Amino acid sequence: MIQFKPVRLKIIHLKWMGILLMMMAAGYPISLSAREQPKNTYSLDEVVVSTTRSEIPVFDAAQSVTVISSQELMSSPFERMEDIVRSVPGIYNFRHFALNTNGIVSPLKMRGTGSNRILILVDGVPQNDNFNNAISWVGWGHIPKETIERIEIVRGPTSAIYGSEGLGGVIHIITKKPKTQRQTSIRTEAGSADTYTGQGFHGQKLEKFSFMAAGGYEQSDGFYMVKDPETYEIKRYREVGKVLGKATCDVTPASEISIAALYYDHDMGQGREFFHNDLQLDQYWLNYSHKGDALGLKALVYLNRADKTAFQDTASDNYTSPFREEKFKGTQTWGTDIQGTLLNWKPAQLTVGASFKEAIFEYNEDYTASTRDAGAKGTQQVISPFANLDVHFLNDNLIVTLGARYDWIETSEGANWDTVASGGKLAYSNAYASNTEGNFSPKLGVAWHPDDKTTFRASGGKGFRAPSLFELYKVHVRNGGTYYREANPNLKPEQIWSYDVGVERFITDSLWGRLTFYQSFAEDYIGDRLTGTGVFGGGKTRYEYQLDNISQVDIYGIETELEWYVLADLTLFANYTFNISEVKKDENNATLNGNYLPNDPRHNAHFGFRYNNPKIVTVSVIANYYADIYFDNENTLKENGYFTVDASISRRFFNSFTAYINAENILDKEYPMFRSVSSGDTIAPGIIVTGGIKLTF
């Protein structure tokens, strides 16, 4: 295979980007007066809060933003957020629906930054907290779809606004505030692999008070995720229960306070009888907001708790008996966030605030046939002042955004231990000294409207991710002991400097397009480093790794989008992302220099249509293409490409009854989702079909 040098690729990309930018900008004259919204097209009035922490029109955002509305959510063929966003430009979801049985793994990547580098928020509450971001314990289906008002997706580093985690960007789920008219619905569905689901929702407003509650239960016999199952392999089953409640009070016409609570519980079978996990999440958050004539205030207090037990087997007896239980008990994160915004300081808007977060990590191992004691623990505290300034020039046609945040991070009480020597490793008991890190994250953005249908935008800034307590202290063993990864208490924070430039335009009154070029330079990237191999019990090979900082990673790519609003009810869309993420320099292993980061395609394309007319039919069809995916740091395992199609069709009857059918992978492709030298290939099982009914009253 012929490979072009990265420098030449960058020159080619910049040349074509310039040509496309000029083509998109050439469709209209530069001089139009007041901003006018094209008729029957994409709404310019849509707002976003996740780029500056205060409401601004999406058209004015300096960063590339996608907003998924409640209507789009409900017409999607998918239930979980991770699947709903899979067709958004710049995002790659490596996981097929059937693999939701390993529901704690972060499947999403944005702009080539790799796993666990997208910040997930729900009403401002971080979901992948510092105590667990190495594996991102997000339930992914833990927020009932009916409760979501919209999903905001901001591409590019968000550390200047939100601190650690958001190297690639942020996905912000914003839940509904019920309206005056009562909304009640129940929904049930069934489908492939004996999958059964029941969901319920109720929302209502009574004078100054509003409330909503939603919940559901799902069980599935699951799928085989290997082509030729061994005798010890079983289907990957799942059982999921969830409930979310939210109450809001309008304290004054300009102020409101809301309180919400979430409980999520799952049991996920991971392919062997004694290899599965139980997870319980309970979360609580309180939001306060005030929007006066001169000042806007927002405050947030939250508590996230997680109890998880990972049941492990061992390869030494061919996975035929239980071996140990990994228990994360008392693991929690709590925090608070407060900000104020000057609203009438023309022509600028200033937001300042501060946040505090504490993460507590506690982990123990219980062994079935011995008194062996192993575990890890640690605490992490973060104090973070931040500020954001938007300045408007040229009659609001030029918006300059400046932002900055400082994160002071203290990690303390770190320890790990194991009382028994195993697999060639000696017994150990380590206690680690406290460590303090400081990180300053600036950003600069510009949005310019040369006319009423065009936005040129450019942004740049710094992102970072502090190593989690999980990464610093937990020895991680999987695949029955054939995968062994040392913790590394000396890990340094990841840092990334990024910029992007692009244009968004209504090429005609019904054809909208966007083109963005991005480039990032990352240092101290955290990843697995293969340190050796050995023979494990039962004659199986043991692969030994250690988490380490890869010195430099270079990332660049192009995102293109088109949406054609053919009719009021019909939208055609297409997008394509080209991404290169490569190791620029690895001081400890020069053989990795020039290699691509694993589990992120070079080519990522989606196209399809949405037709939304509930009285006739609602149809959504999404085609997906992924190509050139490596699965290991050494770039020895590769998938050249595959193509899938997903679809949903529904019909409303008698104004209150809706029937629907959802299908994923309707072409029945059995493509590899993972390839691993230690555990083999994980294969998508083919087509999955579910059908259901919904009653609204």
The residue that leads in pLDDT, 386 or 100, is: 386
- 246's tokens: 């939210």
**Non-local CB neighbours of 630 within 8 Å, separated by 6+ positions:** 595, 596, 597, 598, 599, 637, 638
What's the pLDDT band for 537 if we cut at 50, 70, 90? low
> Are 94 and 107 contacting, i.e. CB atoms less than 8 angstroms apart?
yes
Dihedral Cα 545, 546, 552, 556, nearest 10 deg: 50
Residue 479 structure tokens: 């695949």
Return d(Cα 61, Cα 50) in angstroms, integer. 10
Q: Give the pLDDT score at 484.
A: 87
Distance of CA 298 to CAs 120, 341, 520, Å?
Answer: 19, 9, 32
Structure tokens at 686: 């083919």
Rounded to an integer, what distance in angstroms lies between the CA atom of residue 353 and that of residue 337? 8
526 inside domain: yes
* Reported pTM: 0.90
Q: What is the pLDDT of residue 45?
A: 62
Share of the chain above pLDDT 90, in %: 62
Percentage of the chain beyond pLDDT 70 is 90
pLDDT of residue 683: 86
Residue in the block written with tokens 């969830």: 242
Could you tell me the CA-to-CA distances from 561 to 126, 407, 513 in Å, in that order? 29, 35, 5
Cα end-to-end distance, the chain, whole Å: 60
One-letter amino acid for residue 568 of the chain: A
* pLDDT, mean of residues 467-495: 89
> What is the pLDDT confidence band of residue 608, given thresholds at 50, 70 and 90?
very high
Structure tokens at 163: 């601190």
Residue 65, in any domain of the structure: yes
Residue 37 reports pLDDT greater than 70: no
Who's near 90: CB < 8 A, 6+ residues apart? 64, 110, 111, 155, 169, 557, 559, 577, 579
Q: Tell me, yes or no, whether 1 lies in a domain.
A: no
Give the chain's domain count: 1
Q: Is the pLDDT of residue 356 over 60?
A: yes
If one compares 612 and 285, the residue with the highest pLDDT of the two is 285
Question: Do the domain assignments include residue 114?
Answer: yes
Tokens of 350: 């200033």
Is 537 in a helix, a strand, or coil? helix
- Beta-sheet pairing, 148-155 with 476-478: unpaired
Residue 396 in 3-state DSSP? coil
Contact 286, 257 (CB under 8 A): yes
Instruction: Provide the pLDDT for residue 529.
Output: 82
Q: Is the pLDDT of residue 268 over 60?
A: yes
Please give the pLDDT value at position 337.
Answer: 97
Q: What is the rounded CA–CA span in Å between residue 16 and residue 29?
A: 22
Tell me if 649 is assigned to some domain.
yes
DSSP secondary structure string, 204-242?
A: EEETTEEEEEEEEEEEEEEE--SSS--TTB--EEEEEEE
CATH number for the domain spanning 236: value is 2.40.170.20
Domain encompassing residue 365: 6-696
Confidence of residue 41 (pLDDT cuts 50, 70, 90): very low
Region 513-540 average pLDDT: 86
State both tokens at 408.
């002071």
